[in-house]
Amino acid sequence: MHKWFVSISLLLVAVSATTYSTLPVYDYIVAGGGGAGSLFASRLTEGSFQVLVLEQGLNSSCYSCDNTVLSVVNDLWTAQGNSLFTTPQTYLTRSFKQPKMSWPGGNTRVYQGYAYPAHPGVYQQYPGNLTLEEFLPYYNKYQDHYCNYLPQSYTGIDPINCTKYHGNAQGPMGISRMVANLSDSEFFFDMLDSASDLGLHHVNDPWNAEEITQSNASIFVQQVFRIVQNASDPMSPRVRESTWSGYTPYSVRARSNLSYKTSTQVVRIIFRNEVERGDFGAVVLNGFTNTSDPSTQAVGVIYTFKDKSYPVFARRQVVLSAGVLGTPKILQHSGVGPADLLESVGVPVVADNRYVGQLVAEHPGYAVIYKTKKNIPINYVNFGGMGAMLLTTPYARHGYPDVQVQIFPVFPVESLESQIVGTGDLQIQYPPVSVGDASVYGAAPILNFIISRTDPHNRGSFNITGDQYRFTDQYDLGISTNPTVFATSEDYLAQKWVIDHLRQILLNSTSAFAQKWIDSELSPGIRSTDPNVQGQIDLQAVARGMDLTYHQTGGMNLGLATDINGVVNGISGVTVCDNSLQPHPPNQNPTGAMLALCEYVADKLMKNTGSGPLVTDTFLANQDGATSTSANGSNGATSTSANGSNGATTSQTNQGNNSGAIGTSTSPVSTASIAQCLFGVTLALALFGL
């Protein structure tokens, strides 16, 4: 009897060796390898956790992204482009183009890189007891700031405040300020010298909360994310610092516990009840936490690659970092969002979370164009971004500056889409001219004041329109198409106030700067002495010329769509962080505030989910012989090892540098062993005496 029992047991082991194999399972899956995804790729792999990053961008290099400071727009028309249009906005029913890039590192590979925190007043709008002081350690964690390398006489930042607001040069993101003493800086330093006459307070460091709160109107030299060849030399060559170069240099991408797959698209979340009812074959979730409701417990995602769909599983957490336009889409297609929306498009409701995809904010922008008395050059080092102002209008809603004004020379910004839609009339009239300097692109008598309403009243939404991921989405900014409502809106009135304010300090001023530099206003242009007529001219100009500043935030607002740590409300196992998580729009470029928020979320995530055995101590069993799963999870999946890849790419084999491509991985292999089967069967037959 014992002989028969042993033989049957061995035979079952042999059969199971050919019947079961391991599906890909990781500790964490990060959906999106953009600005925030790069941060999570780095932070989550600092220990022994197995991490998979799924990035929709291609596995290709971008020299201009990583070796210049220029905005790269040519790739918008390639496979890297991922743009869409909004629904009609303003009373002219304009649809704004939202350019997006599908690169590892996301839009940080092509941005200007302005580096700022959110104003202390912004944090007063945050949920709970979160304050700027709570986030200072996370701001400091990512910075490698120039105040740690250059003397106070140059930076204007004393050592105590350098440490308090910028840390100790231990972070991955290099920050420098625009280079002074170049040909494009003369006009701006004249403006700084006239700051008090212009009603402005010159701030040495806009990161310093004590400085930035001293005045309702300030001006400062821009700080930017840059890789500086010699940080101790203020004139040293520099290129753009993206989160790709900062957080995921080759030394990070080569970590054995990081798999990085490009050309993949996460389309939805897998919930535990799908696995338990057999949607993925005979899968056993060993080592996964059990919750009281398997229908809302996320255990993985479905991603697509080359028109096939694959499941992959996360034992600890799924992290969504797909951006304002991507993270809500994944959740809504997974059945997590406003129930009425999901039901209307035929998506089964998993959790009714009415904030998913809602309360999206954008900084609406409009450029006032002045003609100057002298040509102003633009060079390849600063590329026009010398300085900015923060102004507080009578329409400020929370007591801190509600408008940022970027001061940008040479190219007449008749539209913030000018680089995309083509050359405007004023650029034809005032083209950049050569100045005989190889470091200068050109010069023109043009100075733009780009007005961004950074504490906007309007809120919009981003919603799916059908039950297929490929269907067009609906992106609404919440800007009224009613002429009266638009003309009386806080956002327009704040921009109109700044237009008039600039006229006062530039055209009706005796300041040395205005007398030396300002000739006339080209756009909107002063066409009438009648305030009512001029008001209509300004209104029409803003309605025609207003554009996106590409500073979207919200849609997964902290404390509403998620809890205080970024965990999605209504389900378990999913954490969010990217610009969609910001609960209130920062009053400057949102990248700096987003990185601090995601450092905070990553820290809380690892503290809350980092205990217990590693993924190498667990496994998933799946029926052998299946092929790739469908997007709805109805079929089995091709088996891979935990570090494998279904046709995508992985970081472990990358031999490039920061500007190079990710290396190609090997094909997936089955872990079932034919030798195991033959050995087991032979042994069983021998014991049977056959």
Pairing of strands 308-320, 25-31: parallel
* Calpha distance 535→325 (Å, rounded): 35
Amino acid in the structure at residue 43: R
* Calpha distance 192→610 (Å, rounded): 50
With beta carbons less than 8 A apart as the criterion, state whether 516 and 510 touch. Answer: no
| CA distances (Å), origin 625, targets 40, 635, 671 | 34, 11, 12
Pairing of strands 403-409, 20-22: unpaired
Peptide bond into 583 cis (omega under 30): no
Our CA angle for 408, 411, 414, nearest 5°, is 95
Give me the residue label for tokens 């249009």: 85
* Calpha distance 84→329 (Å, rounded): 14
Q: Is 462 exposed, middle or buried (0-12, 13-18, 19+ CB in 10 A)?
A: buried
Please give the distance of CA 269 from its chain centroid, rounded to a whole number.
Answer: 21
Length of the chain, please?
A: 690
Residue 202 host element (H or E)? strand 201-202
Helices (H) and strands (E) in the chain, counts: 22, 30
DSSP bridge pairs for 268? 302
Known binding-site residues equal: 266
Tokens representing 330 are: 């994944």
* Calpha distance 215→400 (Å, rounded): 9
Known binding-site residues for FAD equal: 266
* Calpha distance 443→195 (Å, rounded): 24
Give me the residue label for tokens 């650029």: 427
- Give the number of other Cβ atoms within 10 Å of residue 94's Cβ: 18
Q: What are phi and psi of 389, to 5 degrees?
A: -120, 150
Q: What is the largest CA-CA distance in the chain?
A: 111
* Calpha distance 537→547 (Å, rounded): 17
* Calpha distance 645→664 (Å, rounded): 10
- Taken in order 433, 436, 438, 439, is the CA torsion positive or negative? negative
Helix (H, G, I), strand (E, B) or coil at 329: helix
Tokens representing 227 are: 């890789």
Pairing of strands 440-453, 403-409: antiparallel
* Calpha distance 77→673 (Å, rounded): 47
Nearest to 263 by CA among 511, 125, 79, 56: 56
Extended beta strands in 230-277, E state: 238-240, 258-261, 265-271
